[in-house]
Amino acid sequence: MTLVAPAQVGSARRFAGQFFRMPTAIAGLGILVVFTLLALTAPLYIHPSDLDVTKATGGQLAPPGPGYPLGTDQPGRSVLLLLIWGTRTSLAIGVIATLLAMVLGSAIGLLAGHYQRWLGRGLMHVTDWFIALPSLPLAISLSAVLGQGARSITIAIAVTSWTATARLVRAQTLAVEARPFIERARALGAGNVQIMTRHVLPNVAPLILVSSTLTVASAILSETTLTFLGLGNPTEVSWGTMINQAYTGSAITRGAWWYLLPPGIAIVIVVLGFTMTGRAVEHILNPRMMAR
């Protein structure tokens, strides 16, 4: 059945209209906006001295109280300020690692899907090889080469998470390439680059967007894992280092729940925010997935 829309509606506006009708979408996006604002504005109200171990003012592992809403850590720093500052590192690593993974994964997936002969096959072999690569030993060896810290963690996450995107983009590229409009473009005189950039990419882009929101969530989790295992730079504040220090500083045995729980809960909430947003975007862009 053909429905002729009465007037052309901008696709961005249509998207927004549908997006903001979903409660989970609003909640997810709300979480992300709050955490992003916190991370961006942190330098305005947190002074470097607040985070300096040597200049700590509070008591050792003091429970929540006046001046320290979430208590303090062993050196006596405010857990609330650490948590807010940690958002910066965790989000930055998650987002940058995801961006790297997306660019790499999309490019390789697109090329592998478009050039189905030797280049495509070769690229997929490389992808398979990376899938088999265990992320943990890789991160450990990377930090041995590049030194501990955010940079090697970001690279380690990016290197191990692009493969899923590459596979996804390749599969979608194959599906799009089989559609008649690709043949039409070819008959009009379009070359490989034009086919890939003008026809395949716009049709694969929604998938990349969905995939990236979900990858950010897992990248943040990976960051926590790797830092918790001691691969991070202990002088940088991140949610991972907080949990790591709470663990090594035996906060748990001393019942200092206020040191361990806040970063843990923050991770869960941010991951949830990304997942909820990603799922909502997926539902709008791919209506067939909606329950009938």
Partner 1 sequence: MTSPALEARDLEVTFPPRRGRGPARAVDGVNLTVGAGEIVALIGESGCGKSTLARALVGLIRPTAGEVRYQGTTLGYSSKALKQFRRHTQLVLQDPGGALNPKQNVFDAVAEGPRLHGLRSGLPERVHDALARAGLRPPEQFVNRYPHELSGGQQQRVVIAGALALDPSVIVADEPVASLDASVRGEILRLILDLRGSLGLSALVVSHDLGLAWNIADRVAVMYLGRIVEQGTVEEVLLRPKHPYTQALISVLPGTDAESVLLRGEPPDPTAVPGGCRFHPRCQRFAALDASDDRRTLCTGRDLPVLDADRPGVACHLADAPTHEERRESSDIS
Partner 2 sequence: MSLLEVHDLNVTYGVDVQAVRGVSFSLDAGQTLGVAGESGSGKSTVALSLLRLLPSSARISGDVLLGGEDVLTMGWGRLRAVRWSEASIVFQGAMSALNPVRTIGEQIREPILLHEKVGIRAARERTAELLDSVGVPARRVGAYPHELSGGQRQRVMIAMALACRPALIIADEPTTALDVIVQAQILSLLADLVRESHISMIMISHDLSVLAETCDRLAVMYAGRIVEIGTSRQMIAEPRHPYTRALSSAFPTIGDPASRLAPSGLPGDPPDPRLVASGCPFEPRCPEAFAECSTHSVELWPAGTGRESACLKVLPGFAKASA
Binding stretches for partner 1 (CB under 8 A): 2, 4-5, 8, 11, 179-181, 183-191, 194, 198-199, 202-203
Q: In the complex with partner 2, which residue's Cβ is closer, 1 or 193?
A: 1
Contact residue for partner 2 among 2, 11, 54, 253 (CB under 8 A): 2
> Near partner 2 by CB under 8 A, which window of 2-10, 116-124, 128-136, 266-274?
2-10
| Contacts (CB under 8 A) with partner 2, residues 164-183 | none
Half-sphere exposure of 120 (CA within 13 A, CB side): 15
Q: In the complex with partner 1, which residue's Cβ is closer, 132 or 178?
A: 178
Contact residue for partner 2 among 13, 117, 288, 292 (CB under 8 A): 292
Residues 6+ apart with CB under 8 A from 230: 244
Q: In the complex with partner 2, which residue's Cβ is closer, 6 or 10?
A: 6
Residue 92 exposed, middle or buried by CB count within 10 Å (0-12, 13-18, 19+): middle
Among partner 2, partner 1, none, partner that 292 touches (CB below 5 to 8 angstroms by kind): partner 2
Among partner 1, partner 2, none, partner that 1 touches (CB below 5 to 8 angstroms by kind): partner 2
Q: In the complex with partner 1, which residue's Cβ is closer, 2 or 54?
A: 2
Binding-site string for partner 2 from residue 4 to residue 23, where x marks contact by CB under 8 A and - marks none? x-------------------
Alpha helices in 23-78 (DSSP H): 23-45, 48-51
* In contact, 25 and 280? CB cutoff 8 Å: yes
Considering the complex, what minimum distance in angstroms separates the CB of residue 198 from partner 1?
A: 8
Q: In the complex with partner 2, which residue's Cβ is closer, 5 or 188?
A: 5
3 binds partner 2 (CB under 8 A): yes
Considering the complex, what minimum distance in angstroms separates the CB of residue 193 from partner 1?
A: 11
> Near partner 2 by CB under 8 A, which window of 1-9, 19-27, 156-164, 180-188?
1-9
* In contact, 120 and 112? CB cutoff 8 Å: yes
Task: Identify how many contiguous H helices and E strands the chain contains and give both numbers.
Answer: 12, 0
User: Helix 135-146 to helix 201-228 angle, to the nearest 10 degrees?
Assistant: 70
* In contact, 123 and 132? CB cutoff 8 Å: no
Cα separations in angstroms, 54 against 48, 75, 125 = 11, 8, 51
Among partner 2, partner 1, none, partner that 128 touches (CB below 5 to 8 angstroms by kind): none
Two tokens, residue 97: 């690692």
Q: In the complex with partner 1, which residue's Cβ is closer, 52 or 183?
A: 183
Separation between Cα atoms, residue 49 and residue 54, nearest integer Å: 9
Separation between Cα atoms, residue 238 and residue 194, nearest integer Å: 43
Among partner 1, partner 2, none, partner that 135 touches (CB below 5 to 8 angstroms by kind): none
Among partner 1, partner 2, none, partner that 191 touches (CB below 5 to 8 angstroms by kind): partner 1
Among partner 1, partner 2, none, partner that 203 touches (CB below 5 to 8 angstroms by kind): partner 1
Shortest CA distance to 236 belongs to which of 78, 73, 85, 72?
85
Residues that bind partner 2 (CB under 8 A): 1-4, 292
